[in-house]
Amino acid sequence: MTQTDAGWVKIVGLGPGNETMVTVQVQDVLAEATDVVGYIPYVKRIPERPGLTLHATDNRVEIERATHALEMAAAGQRVAVVSSGDPGVFAMASAVFEALEVGKPDWLDLDIQVLPGITAMLAASARIGAPMGHDFAAINLSDNLKPWSLIEKRLRLAGEAGFAMGFYNPRSKSRPHQFGRALEILREACGGDTLISFARDVSKPGETITTVTLNEATPAMADMRTVVIVGNADTRRVGRHVYTPRYATEG
């Protein structure tokens, strides 16, 4: 067996924050790994143990992080690349394949697997009720990797098409005005009576869930620790819960 054959990269999701939401499959990978690679806050969630090296790096170095993981796997190490939520949703799985595409040809023979996790959006949806009960779209509102004009276009078209929507990274200190603009677009595309929910620190201590109409929503209700879920014309309240029926009326 060559070193390349012995090494592997497994890209795993740590869930939204509560350790009970880490799958058994992911726990087993972390127990077998010789190295864990990821963004600093996510690597901090991994307990130290003999034989395990933690490689924590800052944000916005995803390709460098992925390349390092592939290099270590090619040298025979068992590497877990960690993300929060699910690694295939705005996370490290795409970065690893991007690095693989431009990397060394022998990396294509590596054992590379993506293991799913519970996303913050789905955890938030479960806390709220079932707002994603019919067709929905997930949109990252950060313009770090795509232009804001494209985000505006996707918001408007998804709203006009009647999708429920889940938003990641809705409002940061560096771009506080953009979420206000997003709310304006949503009111125009979806109508002001459409329900919008703000799930902050979902599954963690201090979790808060707030549901209002788009007319009542303000930018200050969201920050980078908030998942925002917008319903469609059929989304309604039932008691303390919000749900979207499994059927759709004519838009």
- Mean of pLDDT over the chain: 94
Tell me what pLDDT residue 222 has. 95
pLDDT band at 5 (very low <50, low <70, confident <90, very high): low
Are 27 and 58 contacting, i.e. CB atoms less than 8 angstroms apart?
no
Are 81 and 38 contacting, i.e. CB atoms less than 8 angstroms apart?
yes
- Read off the pLDDT of residues 217-235 as tens digits, 9 standing for 90 and up: 999 999 999 999 999 999 9
Whole-prediction pTM: 0.91
Q: State mean pLDDT over 1-18.
A: 81
Indicate the DSSP class of residue 204.
Answer: S
Distance CA 164, CA 123 (A): 15
pLDDT exceeds cutoff 70 at 245: yes
As a CATH number, domain 121-243 is 3.30.950.10
Listed in order, the ranges of the chain carrying CATH 3.30.950.10 are 121-243
- Read off the pLDDT of residues 42-76 as tens digits, 9 standing for 90 and up: 999 999 999 999 999 987 899 999 999 999 999 99
Q: State mean pLDDT over 184-191.
A: 97
Q: What architecture is domain 3-118?
A: 3-Layer(aba) Sandwich (3.40)
> What is the helix (H) or strand (E) element at residue 127, kind and residue range?
helix 120-128
Distance CA 119, CA 203 (A): 11
Residue 42: which of 81, 72, 4 has the closest Cα?
Answer: 81
pLDDT band at 1 (very low <50, low <70, confident <90, very high): very low
Residues of the chain above pLDDT 90, percent: 90
Listed in order, the ranges of the chain carrying CATH 3.40.1010.10 are 3-118
Distance CA 226, CA 197 (A): 10
